[in-house]
Structure 1
């Protein structure tokens, strides 16, 4: 797995974008990510929809390598860590967490994070509707009420559509950045890309396995 990085300056803070769909914030020693959607593959299989093997394991391995690469001590997950009701994927995630007992995890709730209290209580992490760590506000979805704050969010699964030869197009995930907010790409590889909406006056940092480039 290649980890490609690019530093950007936001509100006098250095944020490190990665081609592995997460941001590292050095001051807080924190990885910031969104839309992991744990439980999605098991949920679809339960309803008769075939899913490729190893999707969750691949996502968790990528997250493990990011934690080790940056020596991160905190995970800030801006929503949709989970996808659906309790299933075997939740158990897989719980076992995976055992290797990172010293890593603090904060979940900012997303629209899919609807597990019962009895399930959530099995996990030793903090759960918030919003989280403020100056100069940022962490939310799942940026709303009008956040217009006076700089938010870091997810939810929309941003991507870009790049025209190739003839009628060919390439879709890539991206970070969308403007003077008021950052929208993160979905961390899970099993997500669609929204290439139809872009923040006003934003820069898109798209990426591949080998590079990060901006539009």
Structure 2
């Protein structure tokens, strides 16, 4: 895996191919839109979907924590997908994973799915807060809306870009999407992380002038030059 270190709001941020981002100074890993229990929610509605997605997502999370040597973890909303995500199998998998790193501080910034799903069980040891959560120069949120005086890091949109040739041959790649942080374009001081969950959709974005886009392909985070500002 190839991570990429960038500067955002004059701070070091390390982009991990899993879709997580490490705030260097605080050694805190950010994860957006895990949507644990989404597959079981669909199955309970009679929709045939793959099994094992929670385990796959937790495996990726463990790898990201190890690769970045993070000392803290913040979920940027949508930890559980729905009220049906409180299924015994899903919660048991989460508890087993938590038991492997009992001393890791974990915080959840509530998102729209968390409002419906409810907070995680208390025995998972996850502090739950409403947005925004201040961390260094950043406001950690679920919804990608500007906040005065801070650069917002959020999720919610599951960003991706399309690459390739003709429309039917194009690929969609998950991406990190960082709005202009130079002050040149007010209101764009927002960065959006890709969805972390292994069973989530993606939304194709339309980059604006000054935006920086970092797609993920073949376990590598790549940089696309920012669009010029007129």
Q: TM (normalized to structure 1)?
A: 0.91
Aligned residue for 2:176, secondary structure, equals strand
Q: Which residue of 1 aligns with 2:185?
A: none
2:128 is matched with 127
Aligned match of 1:72 in 34, 52, 70? 70
- Structure 1 residues 210 and 39, CA gap change in structure 2 (3 angstroms): closer
Q: What residue is the counterpart of 1:5 in the other structure? A: 3
- Give the match for residue 98 of structure 2: 97
Relative distance call for 1:66 and 1:9 in structure 2 (3 A) is same
Query: In the alignment, is residue 27 of structure 1 matched against residue 28 of structure 2?
Result: no
The Cα of 1:90 is off from its aligned counterpart by 2.3
Alpha carbons 1:177, 1:199 under 8 Å: kept: no
Give per-residue Cα distances to partners, 1:24-43, cap 9 Å, x unaligned: 12211111111000110111
Distance in 1 between the 2:113 and 2:172 partners?
25
- The corresponding residue for 1:41 is 39
Q: Secondary structure at the match of 2:113?
A: coil
Q: 1:188 aligns with which of 185, 197, 201?
A: 197
Whether 2:138 is the aligned partner of 1:140: answer no
Query: What RMSD, in angstroms, separates the aligned Cα atoms of the two structures?
Result: 1.8
Alpha-carbon distance, 1:188 to partner = 0.8
Structure 2 regions of 5+ residues with no counterpart? 182-188, 225-230
Structure 1 residue ranges, 4+ long, deviating more than 6 angstroms after superposition:
none
Between 1:184-193 and 1:152-161, the stretch displaced more is 184-193
- Are 1:156 and 1:194, in contact at CA under 8 Å, matched by a contact in 2? yes
Contact 1:79-1:111 at 8 Å conserved across structures: yes
Question: In 1, distance between residues paired with 2:209 and 2:91?
Answer: 37
Structure 1 contact 38–90 (Cα < 8 Å) conserved? no
Q: What is the CA–CA distance in structure 1 between the aligned matches of 2:167 and 2:34, rounded to whole Å?
A: 35
State the distance in 2 between where 1:167 and 1:91 align: 41
Q: 1:65 to 1:166 in 2, by over 3 A?
A: closer
Gaps of 5+ in 1: none
What are the superposed Cα offsets for residues 25-66 of structure 1, whole Å, 9 maximum, x if unpaired?
221111111100011011111111111122111111011111
Report which stretch shifted further, 180-189 or 108-117: 108-117
Q: How many residue pairs align between the two structures?
A: 211
C-alpha deviation, 1:147, in angstroms: 4.7
In the superposition, the TM-score normalised over structure 2's length comes to 0.85
Over residues 118-174 of structure 1, what are the superposed CA-to-partner deviations in whole Å (9 max), with x where a residue is unaligned? x53232121111200121000000225x25421000000000011325741010000
1:81 and 2:83 matched: no
